[in-house]
Structure 1
Amino acid sequence: MLMAEDVLLLLTDDTTGRSLVDGTRRDIAVAGAVIAELAAAGRLEAVTADGVLRRTTLQVVPGPAVGDDVLDEALARVGAGNGSPAAVLDRIRKGLRERLYARLVERGVLRAQEGRVLGIFPTSSWPAVDGLHEAEVRRGLHEVLVAGRAPTPHEASVVALLSAVDALPKVLPGTGLPNRELRARGKRVAEGDVGGEAARKAWEAVQAAVVAAGTATAVAAASS
């Protein structure tokens, strides 16, 4: 599965089919996973312009199609205008969640469930049908963050994304660790090496954008 699908599954409650965090943070993390996967594949690079402002943009590295419709569409969206990590993140996340949920339903991993609140407002949820893959991913994260095993690059990126939107305590409850310690361990993993030099630069740029977007969402929610 794509990293974005792993992140989406982890952020979706298996029983209720609803997001464990607010929808904006979920969508930001999922879009960040797409960018991280493209960067790791060498198809996105972070370019910092010379000058006083030193503006960083994410740009497509020419090459053949990736072979996954979600990743190839994301590349096309980036290539339509490149842009800052935050702008690329916003461009990619439009419609991404719905598309990934539909793929997971088609594979029999989730089921789509429609309902109404107060009999008026339509709602959608995606309870788990086959949780084996998600359980394996979650077990790996537990080994990394609780048992101290060295993460794979994929696991490190997933931890970094979940950490950036402050979702680790929700995704890994019952570890026996205080939430503060779990967050601290996630941050240490996020600060580690998640790939080669080019991938690292692109990842650092998108991670900063994910953190900034997630923080802005949290501040807005707290002030409302």
Structure 2
Amino acid sequence: MPDDMLLVEDLMLLLLDDKTGVPAGAGTLHYTLGGAVLVELALLGRVEPEEGRAGLGGPKILTTGNGPLPDPLLQSAHDTVAGKTQRVQPLLLHIGGGLRKPVLDRLLERGLIRKERKRVLGLFPATTLPAADTRHENELRERVRAVLEDGASPDTRTAAVTALLSASGTLPSLHPSPKWSSSVYKRAKELERGDWGASAVNTAVSRTAAAIAASSTAVAVAAATATS
């Protein structure tokens, strides 16, 4: 299975309904996808929040490090951050607003989803994106489940994906969803705060990534909900 997938691809794969291809949390998907890209950049040590008070709209995000990034999608996002210092919330819109199609195209190219054209009521053309090869998705979902339900220590990427799902409010939309309990809820919130366990990269980098997942995606989703 692919070992070079970005967090944003893994996240999209988990959000998509396997039968219809409709993503959970579609109304705020741009925030969630933008948050995943920023988290990936944080894990690579290429962005960090400005120290001090976060302020309205979350902390300002700064670029760090030098050299080209390994993926054009990440490079484009990094260039956006470098081009103008912004707070997280507007930055998520700039980065995530155009991500849905290219991320779906990547999943299609990898053969993880497929495109189906049909007619609704025999009249209206419609395109769906059902799952094609579910092995990678099933492995992802099982790792998330084990972390939340069994208390397994996550690797860095599983912790990041779970933190993003929790912060965006889409974790209950997984199929099957975690068996909700007070311990599952508590563990999800711990991941949002950066408690990723000894086996993960438990450093300032991982804490930065978790902070972006929680403070940016959750604040953005709350703002979008308030205006809907």
Normalization by structure 2: what TM-score?
0.83
Equivalent residue, structure 1, for 2:211 = 204
- Correspondence list, 1:65-104, <5 A: 65-104=68-107
Equivalent residue, structure 1, for 2:14 = 10
Q: Distance in 1 between matches of 2:173 and 2:152?
A: 21
- Correspondence list, 1:34-113, <5 A: 34-48=37-51, 56-113=59-116
Do the aligned residues in 1 keep the contact of 2:163 with 2:213 (CA within 8 Å)?
A: no
Question: Which letter maps to 2:128?
Answer: S
Candidates 121, 134, 149, aligned match of 1:131 = 134
Question: Which letter maps to 2:219?
Answer: A
Q: Distance in 1 between matches of 2:205 and 2:180?
A: 34
Do the aligned residues in 1 keep the contact of 2:148 with 2:178 (CA within 8 Å)?
A: no
Candidates 190, 193, 196, aligned match of 1:191 = 193
Quote the RMSD (CA, aligned, Å).
2.6
Structure 2: tracts of 5 or more residues without a match = 197-201
Do the aligned residues in 2 keep the contact of 1:164 with 1:207 (CA within 8 Å)?
A: yes
Query: 1:125-149 CA distances to partner (integer Å, 9 max, x unpaired)?
Result: 3211111111100010111001110
Structure 1 residues 130 and 148 mapped into 2: Cα distance closer, same or farther (>3 Å)?
A: same
Q: Distance in 1 between matches of 2:178 and 2:103?
A: 28
By how many angstroms is 1:13 displaced?
A: 0.6
Normalization by structure 1: what TM-score?
0.84
SS in 2 for 1:48: coil
Equivalent residue, structure 2, for 1:142 = 145
Question: Which letter maps to 1:25?
Answer: T
Matched length: 216
Equivalent residue, structure 1, for 2:221 = 214
| Identity level (%) | 32
By how many angstroms is 1:20 displaced?
A: 2.3
Do the aligned residues in 2 keep the contact of 1:32 with 1:210 (CA within 8 Å)?
A: yes
Do the aligned residues in 2 keep the contact of 1:86 with 1:206 (CA within 8 Å)?
A: no
Candidates 168, 182, 193, aligned match of 1:165 = 168
Do the aligned residues in 2 keep the contact of 1:115 with 1:123 (CA within 8 Å)?
A: yes
Query: 1:2-57 CA distances to partner (integer Å, 9 max, x unpaired)?
Result: 11111100000111111122x1333222211110010010011212368x99x831
